[in-house]
Structure 1
């Protein structure tokens, strides 16, 4: 017979009641699970979602007029990653604009400088 009493995984108090009990109350259960989630590696979905949110925020910030041109270095230094996008659109010239939701960008090289042309999604871009 095991005489050792089980203790709460969160606060360490001695547990009473069911033999398979792990926490003394819901607060301790929630607290323990929160602490575990903070130490766990971020899930792939969270990494992708966070990068998309950051990309959208930056594109929105630098494109207030509907169309803008910005040096790629400015966006990249703030954490922008052009490999994360939601969809793309190809214009009649064959240029491919990559979109993060409603905000798009096109990489261009102009006067030996890498730049992004920033645009906002328009109704005429929808596939027919």
Structure 2
């Protein structure tokens, strides 16, 4: 008695190795795409992707090592201040949130919400 296996994507009969799951690379790719659409992104991936986006935005808007930007501009690009890797507190008590080596501090000036952007410096290690 012979047991026939079918392709996980197109249901065609599989020939060849006994552990084969797909009839060709196109079916394998289509199946993996279908699975990614049916199953929501894992928590770890969501956090990692947001951290990467936040870092890229902070780096792009902070070319000189220190900058100021309106919060709405960063948020419109997809920045989420709830995702950060660590923090640093200066001598005045201000707490800068960091995404890897790029930090931000929320400030309000003349009723306009802004972020002060900084880059990690060696003196912050102490």
Q: Which runs of 5+ in 2 are unaligned?
A: none
Specify the alignment match of 2:69 in structure 1.
Answer: 70
Greater shift after overlay, 15-24 or 75-84?
15-24
Q: CA deviation at 1:36?
A: 1.3
Rounded to whole Å, the distance in 2 between the matches of 1:103 and 1:82 is: 12
What is the root-mean-square deviation of aligned Cα atoms in Å?
Answer: 2.4
Question: Normalization by structure 1: what TM-score?
Answer: 0.84
Note the C-alpha offset of 1:37.
2.4
Match among 28, 51, 55 for residue 30 of structure 1: 28
- State how 1:53-68 maps to structure 2 within 5 Å: 53-68=52-67
Q: CA deviation at 1:113?
A: 0.5
Q: 2:123 aligned with 1:124, yes or no?
A: yes
Gaps in structure 1 of 5+ consecutive residues: none
Aligned-pair CA distance for 1:34: 4.1
In structure 1, what is the Cα distance between the partners aligned to 2:53 and 2:125? 24
Show the 5 A alignment for 1:1-128: 6-16=5-15, 22-24=21-23, 27=25, 30-31=28-29, 32-127=31-126
Count of residues paired in the alignment? 125
TM-score of the superposition, structure 2-length normalised? Answer: 0.85
